[in-house]
Amino acid sequence: MKLISYNVNGIRAAISKGFMEWLEAEMPDVIHIQETKAMQEQVNVDMLRMFGYEIHWFAAERKGYSGVATFTKLKPKNVVKGIGNDFFDSEGRFLRLDFEEFTLINSYFPSGTSGDVRQEKKEEYLELVLNYTNELRKTRPNIIVSGDYNICHKPIDINHPEKHEDVSGFLPNEREWMDRFVASGFVDSFREFNTQPEQYSWWSYRGGCKPKNLGWRIDYNMVSTDLAKKMKNAWIQPELNFSDHCPVFVEF
């Protein structure tokens, strides 16, 4: 199974830049999309169906904002839209698909960069996700939580960490939450296969960050510990430029 997670920063914009052609070449079994910024009816999904994908879409109520979608060649036996919180579910941030032997979660975690109120909501969401996965593991032990976490876990995951210690996305309490999430029974799939520095998944559009590789690694496929034993590989594709993020892969 090949799985991709990708914050496309607007699915319609990504399609106009060649997203569908890239997807046809990669042809993963499952692809999770974050920040769709569109309702399903605003997107021509005929090509996705032609590729053999089932489409599961969870849009934000606010047009042009947030939203997640999962395209899968594997048929889920159960689909859950939302984490069970009205505020976050109105923003279309959480999509769960149950298969026979495992569960996939696609999540677009809030950013806290716009101020203290949003940072508080981000931290509230983090605790919701941790509590949700802790409860889910009691009956569904094999879980992959994919998405844009909007957090760099360790100094190796961000350019010039000493400059970002007081910046949302690299705050001590956010990184401590990542520690707790891993300790609850998850593995950072990418770091199981690549321990090199300067491996990023997001670059600001400002200041020519991408050519200088001044990035952040904030996109993850976090795999529950038992399921992690079946991983074959995990990697990122930084050369892709459909978004300010790049896709992150894991293969089982």
* Structure tokens, 142: 């094999």
- Token representation of residue 42: 């605003």
Respond yes or no: is residue 188 known to be catalytic: no
Measured in degrees and rounded to the nearest 5, phi and psi for residue 249 equal -115, 150
DSSP state of 51: T
Q: Which of 29, 46, 86, 148 is catalytic?
A: 148
Spatial CA neighbour of 4 closest among 148, 101, 156: 148
Q: Which two tokens stand for residue 154?
A: 């360790």
Give the tokens for residue 18: 């060649």
Catalytic center residues: 148
